[in-house]
Amino acid sequence: MKRTIYIPFDHLHREYGALKGADPKSDLIVLVESARMTTGRNWHKERLFFLISSARHFAQSLRDEGFTVEYVKAATTIDGLKQIAKQHKGLPITCVEPSSFRQYEALKNHGVEFVPNDFFLTPRPLFKAWADDQKSYLMENFYRKQRVRLNILMDGKEPAGDSWNFDKDNRLPPPKKYEGPAYLEHKRDEIDLEVAKELSHTPTTTWATTRDGALAQLKNFMDNHFADFGPLEDAMTTDNWALHHSLLSPYLNNGLLHASEVVAAAGKAYSKGKVPIESAEGFIRQLIGWREYVNGMYWFLGPDYRENNQLQADRKLLPLFTDPGATKMNCMKATVTDINERAWVHHIPRLMLLSNLALITGTNPQEFLDWMREVFIDASEWVMVPNVIGMGVHADGGQMMTKPYSAGGAYISRMSNYCKSCVYNPKLRTGETACPFTTLYWDFLDRHKETFAKNHRMSQQVFGLKRLSDLPELKDRAQEVLAGLEAGII
């Protein structure tokens, strides 16, 4: 053997990263299941199951190909690598550039040689060149450049369908009693069962743990959901937990799928006329726009960015985040129950329910970030940090997003069916049955009015405060709501 190739659990693709061109005759493959990763935090068991079982399946597929594979359990990744170095006489170690600052430092200090990270469509230096050139880092500007650079959904120099953006067509509320096609279920095999037993966990059938399963999920999305993806992408309903979202983020993030494969499949479906432009554009925007932008911003903004707390939010994490029984708010109860069940909800509950509540209650951003990291199936440091600190709770003072995503109950009522059976009323901002979102939205604006008045995108909302004749009463109610949320009785 000439070298060790170290494969982190988020780079499980045979054709990319350090495995590209790897040779079973000269390359020893190492995967490390570190205790820091498994027991270091209060991880959702479905998430651990998915990550570990995917890695073990991947290790097996490499063995089947003729590779010598060492899959070790150790206290930390570095301990695992040291263990292997003793057994294999200190072979040089190669790995793809890691996806978090912490792992980058640890592996670099251990002398690991990196190959460029090609798990994204945008090399890190290219993103930096774009960002260095911007006054404000608008995703929309980045996205348009990506469309041209990658030549996706373009008619020559013009955007397909004569518009860069079909967001206005993609904001439909949920239809009544919406069923949609059946969900794809993934059967469990021996490796899955072994991992499930070790974790004392009964896994769902929602998440695949193999490349074949991930490809089946991609095909299922293309065949059954892609055409309807766009118009309902922001809707939330108790009738259907996924609507037409692709459920591909876990595989994109652990490497079982590469973004270029998903983009190619989407482009093909559109060019064959199988999907309307608003769905094609909406989905491509998420992939070549948001996903690439968020990864680029993570590296661009640096390791200290995650510690931002510009709104000085210091409330402890509310009990309802860990216990859906600790709230009467129908939307929050349903969302946290869904997360407990399968470690996933789509982008609107993440943004407009979970993050919005953390934002307007003044919850400490790092406590909220830690919780989000622990409970989502697709949570990685590079994607959670900008999404939570920048987009979700505006803790960076607007470095990433020009205004906070704060909203009252009216938005949630419009985009979901949660409010119909809730004890609270989204239209009320004071009184015992006032919707906590509505009360706290105004209270939040009032608490930060000096800061937001300087922001031209917020000034109209701040101005709205002046029209509230019941502001003193509302402020009293807000204190009751905050105390009730902390006590788990609101």
User: In the bound complex, what is the minimum distance in angstroms from residue 169's beta carbon to ligand FAD?
Assistant: 16
CA nearest neighbour of 377 among 102, 45, 57:
45
Span of 146-154, 282-290, 303-311, 314-322 interacting with ligand FAD by CB under 6 A: 282-290
Query: x/- binding map, residues 311-350, to ligand SF4, per CB under 6 A?
Result: ------------------xxx-------------------
DSSP letter at 207 equals S
Q: List CB contacts of 236: < 8 A, sequence separation 6 or more.
A: 174, 331, 346, 348, 349, 353, 412, 415, 416, 417, 418
Question: Residue 395: which of ligand SF4, ligand FAD, none does it interact with, CB under 5 to 8 A by kind?
Answer: none
Q: Contact between 346 and ligand FAD (CB under 6 A)? A: yes
Distance separating alpha carbons of residues 56 and 191, to the nearest angstrom: 7
- Cα–Cα distance measured from residue 113 to residue 135, given in angstroms and rounded to the nearest whole number: 35
Q: Which helix (H) or strand (E) holds 148?
A: helix 139-150
d(CA 26, CA 24): 6
Q: Which stretch binds ligand FAD (CB under 6 A): 101-109, 299-307, 342-350, 455-463?
A: 342-350
The one segment of 184-192, 272-280, 321-329, 380-388 that binds ligand FAD by CB under 6 A: 380-388
Please pick, from the candidates 53, 237, 246, 330, the single residue that binds ligand FAD as defined by CB under 6 A. Answer: 246
Among 96, 252, 297, 336, binds ligand FAD (CB under 6 A): 252
Q: Is 351 in the site for ligand FAD (CB under 6 A)?
A: yes
The residue among 368 and 424 lying less far from ligand FAD, judged by its C-beta, is 368
Exactly one of 407, 412, 440, 481 binds ligand SF4 (CB under 6 A); which one?
Answer: 412
Return the bridge partners of 125, or none: none
Among 211, 436, 439, 452, binds ligand SF4 (CB under 6 A): 436
Q: Which of ligand SF4, ligand FAD, none is residue 214 near (CB under 5 to 8 Å by kind)?
A: none
**Cα→Cα distances 120→34, 51, 260, Å:** 25, 19, 8
> Closer to ligand FAD at the Cβ: 6 or 290?
290
**Which of ligand SF4, ligand FAD, none does 436 bind, CB closer than 5 to 8 A by kind?**
ligand SF4
Piece of the chain touching ligand SF4 by CB under 6 A; list 94-102, 126-134, 421-429, 457-465: 421-429
Structure tokens at 399: 């470095």
- β-pairing verdict for 158-159 and 154-155: antiparallel
Closer to ligand FAD at the Cβ: 94 or 279?
279
396, 136 in Cβ contact below 8 A? no
Residue pair 46/200 in contact (Cβ under 8 Å)? The answer is no
Shorter beta-carbon distance to ligand SF4: residue 121 or 415: 415
Q: Which of these ranges, 29-37, 172-180, 363-371, 434-442, lies near ligand SF4 under the rule CB under 6 A?
A: 434-442
Q: How many residues does the chain have?
A: 490
State how far the alpha carbon of 181 is from the alpha carbons of 178, 220, 242, in Å.
10, 10, 11
Rule CB under 6 A: say whether 383 interacts with ligand FAD.
Answer: yes
Tell me how far, at minimum, the Cβ of 441 lies from ligand FAD, in Å.
17
Residue 419, interface with ligand SF4 (CB under 6 A)?
yes
Among 32, 84, 294, 318, binds ligand FAD (CB under 6 A): 294
Q: Which residues make beta-bridge pairs with 159?
A: 154
CB atoms under 10 Å from CB of 21, counted, come to 8
* Alpha carbon distance 402, 64 (integer Å): 50
Q: Give the separation between CA 309 and CA 115, rounded to whole angstroms.
A: 34
Residue of 204, 217, 220, 253 interacting with ligand FAD (CB under 6 A):
253
Residue 98 main-chain phi, psi, to 5 deg: -65, 165
Query: Does residue 445 contact residue 461 with C-beta atoms inside 8 Å?
Result: yes
Residues found near ligand SF4 in the complex (CB under 6 A): 329-331, 409, 412-413, 418-419, 422, 424, 426, 435-437
Residues found near ligand FAD in the complex (CB under 6 A): 245-249, 252-253, 286-287, 290-291, 294, 346-347, 350-351, 355, 376, 378-379, 383-384, 387-388, 391-392
